[in-house]
Structures are given as C-alpha cells and as structure tokens.
Amino acid sequence: MSKSTVVEFKDRETITDPLSEMLKAGAKQLIHQAVEAELAGLLSEHAHRKTGDGRSTVVRNGYQPERDILTGIGSVPVRIPKVRSKDGPPVTFHSALVPPYVRKTRSIESALPWLYLKGISTGEMGAALKVLVGNDAEGLSASTISRLKKEWGKQYDEWCSASLSKDQWVYIWADGIYSGLRAEKEKLCALVIIGVNERGQKQFLAIEDGTRESTQSWREVLLQLKGRGMNSPQLAVGDGAMGFWSAIEEVYPETRHQRCWVHKTANILNHLPKTAQPKAKKALHQIWMAETRTNAGNAFDLFVESYEAKYPKATLSLQKDREELLAFYDFPAMHWQSIRTSNPIESTFGTIRHRTKRTKGCLNRDGMLHMMFKLSQCAEQKWIRLRGFDYLAKVIEGVKFKLKFPTNYEVSSSSSSGHHA
C-alpha cells in the first residue's frame, strides 16, 4: 500500500508563518480572479441582449454573502458575484470553480508546492485549478482560463510601466533568481530589484528575465527603471558575482555599492576545506556584526592575517571587495541588518527553487515572470516599514552618521561619503 506524501497541518487556522500566509493569500486571489474571469465570459455570452436605449440587460448585481472554503492551510474567504437580467429570461451565475454549497477543497495540500508555478504557466492553468479545488474545476472553459491568464499578463505589463518618480528611492537590493524550471534551451533567470522609499516602504521595482552575470541584461533593467523616473539610490545591495555592478556604475554612477555578506561568506568558505569552515565562518561573522567600522576593520585584518598564508584564494576573495563590504557602516545602524545582505529578495523567492525542482515540464518566459510578479504582490502585503525609517530623510540629505552607542547617533552636515568609526 502506497504511503501518502501529503503532510497534514495541525491547528491550521493558527498558522501564521509568512509562507503559509503568502499561499493563503495566493489561493484567495487565484479563486477570485478565476471566478471573475468566469463571470466575464457569462456577460460576454449575453452581450447581444440590449434594452431599448442600447444598454445591456444582463448586468452585475453585487455579491452573495462571503463564505469560507476550507483548505489545507486554513479557511479562504470567497465572494461569488451575482447577476440580474433587466429584461427577458432570467440569468443566474453559477461558478464551476466554486459551486453552491462547496465547503471544502479536497487536495489543496497537493497544490501548495506549485500553486503559482502551475497556475501561471501557459497551458497548465486548468491543471492548477483542478488541484486547488478538485474536479469541480473541470467545468472551467478554455476561454475562461485564457481570459484569466491574459488578466495576469495585463497586470504585469501595467506594473512594469508604472511611474517611479513620485518617491525617493533610498536603498535597492538586486539579485538574479533561477527558478529551477527549464525553458526549451536554458534555465530561466529573473532579474529582481527591490527598493525602499523615503517613508521606509519596500516595493518590488523590477522583475525581468535575463542573464545574471550579464552587464547588458542588468543595464536594460536599470535603464527601464531610470526611464520610469527612479532617482539615483544612495546604496545598492547585492551579490558580487553579477553583471549588475558594472551596469549600475554606468546608469547610476553616484550610487554606492554594498556586497551581500551572506553570498560573500559562502564564496570565501568555498575556498576552504570543510574542516576549516566553521571557525572561518565565525571569524567572518565577527567582521560584519561588529558594532563599529573600526572594530570591523580590525576583525577584517585579523582574518586576512590568520588565513592568507595557507588559503590565499579565500583571503583574496575578501580583500578585493573590502570597501564594498564595509559600506553599510556609513549608514544608520538601525538599517544595518537590512542593508548588509540581499535577504529581502532571498526571503521572498527562496522557496521557489525547492518548489520547482519537483515540477515537470517547461515554463515559458511569460509564465515565469507572471508567477514571480504574483508572488511578489503577496509578499508586499506582509511587509512592514524599514526599521529606523525616520532616518531615511537624513540619508537622502547626505548626512554623515556618527555612532556614539549601538543605537544612538549624532549627525553632522558633512557628506555621507566619508568614513567614521
């Protein structure tokens, strides 16, 4: 007898971890958009029915009372729209996706690993909805599914052209995310940029396909952002092994660079034997967790002195990016936790690699970008403002922050381009 690989969630209504909340929000949005696409199909069928003055006789008429569909990650609220006919035979809207009296979906657990992936990939929307709500999704027509996919694509296109000039963008994070899915010839990579504005609000600014190591790919992304009105950020954060840095030097030459310490640590440890890695990792940790730039510099020099003779490649990897690794010390200490790594991107898309390894078949370019766009929208809803956001206005002004205590500052009118202890 085969064993089920489905893990049952206990106390599912009390689950509050970000991934579960993200998936629950995604399930709600997926059902809502699918139902709206069904309704649009119904109204289109009756578009020929007109009143004497040329208006449609079959129109929307509010919503039925909201009810919950019990899923494997908790209850998902659903609102089913109603229609009415002003003249002629009555018309009633019945959703094939959420039929009357539905109270439970039987296989939402199976949908969790690829809710977005299958849901947005071309030609597989029907399969995703079937897994989401069971065999009831079989009633969805091809035109309804096509309409839904077009709506997601339209939302993505509008988002890509939205103006960025209304905000002052202070920090940006950049990374290239490989989905793990294969197109016809190569892996798909999404070039992702997140920004934080002067009010401390984090937002996705770009999700485009390209080559992670290519300067040209990143140049195109940054030029698009500039064309949409994005100002020169004070600091850009990311992994050193990207074409991003050459591109931003061209497009935004005044922006300072901060290498991601998580990526840099992994790169350095790759040059060491496994037996030496735990101690070396702790020594690196002492650098970027130091309370002052002076202490960080001392720990930096100690690491080089300790490992240079035996592991020169490891210390060279560290030394070549010294300025870019310690740049965050010139900004408010309340921001250090956020600006010394590219964690905002990794925490949002880190589960994609795991979830796509088990997905068979291909995902085309549009499918990948739309999937990541919808995932980013769900993530943004859960984000809170940057800790210490009230210091951002001073950062924009070019104020130099002088550390007195771990969380207290004096500020001076000199430029932030200088160093301080």
Distance, CA of 372 to CA of 349 (rounded, Å): 8
Alpha carbon distance 383, 79 (integer Å) = 25
Q: If you average pLDDT over every residue of the chain, what do you get? A: 77
DSSP string for residues in 160-172: HH---TTS-EEEE
Query: Would you state the structure tokens that stand for residue 205, as one six-digit string?
Result: 């600014």
The DSSP letter of residue 254 is: T
pLDDT band at 191 (very low <50, low <70, confident <90, very high): very high
Per-residue confidence band for 229, with pLDDT thresholds at 50, 70 and 90: very high
Q: Output the pLDDT for position 256.
A: 97
| In 81-166, beta strands by DSSP E | 81-85
Give one DSSP letter per residue of 355-403, joined into a string: HHTT--SB--HHHHHHHHHHHHHHHHHH--PPTTGGGHHHHHHTPEEEE
Longest CA span, the chain: 91
pLDDT at 53: 83
Which DSSP helix (H) or strand (E) runs through 179? strand 169-182
Q: Specify the range with the lowest mean pLDDT, choosing from 113-117, 219-223, 364-368.
A: 113-117
Higher pLDDT residue, 366 or 181?
A: 366
Mean pLDDT calculated for residue range 104-124 = 38
Most confident of 17-26, 69-78, 256-265, 399-408: 256-265
Q: What is residue 334's predicted lDDT score, i.e. its pLDDT?
A: 94
Q: Distance between CA 257 and CA 376 in Å, rounded?
A: 24
Domain range list for the chain:
12-158, 165-257+355-387
Mean pLDDT within 343-367? 60
- Model pLDDT, residue 232: 97
DSSP 230: -
Q: Which amino acid is at 357?
A: K
Task: Tell me what pLDDT residue 128 has.
Answer: 52
Residue from 191, 196, 236 nearest 341 by CA: 236
pLDDT value at residue 122: 38
- Tell which wins on pLDDT, 404 or 342: 342
Q: What are phi and psi of 175, to 5 degrees?
A: -160, 155
Q: Which CATH number is 165-257+355-387's, of 3.30.420, 1.10.8, 3.30.450, 3.50.40?
A: 3.30.420
Lowest mean pLDDT among 124-138, 178-192, 301-315: 124-138
Amino acid identity for residue 293 in this structure? R
pLDDT at residue 28 greater than cutoff 70: yes
Contact by Cβ (8 Å): 43, 162: no
Residue 297 burial by Cβ neighbours in a 10 Å radius (0-12, 13-18, 19+): middle
- What's the pLDDT at 389? 95
In the prediction, which pLDDT does 170 show? 98
Instruction: Give per-residue pLDDT as tens, 66-89.
Output: 877 655 556 778 888 999 988 877
AA letter at 288: W
The span from the CA of 73 to the CA of 107, in Å, is: 11
Per-residue model confidence as pLDDT tens digits over 91-104: 888 776 665 534 33
| CA–CA distance, 53 with 84 (Å, rounded to integer) | 18
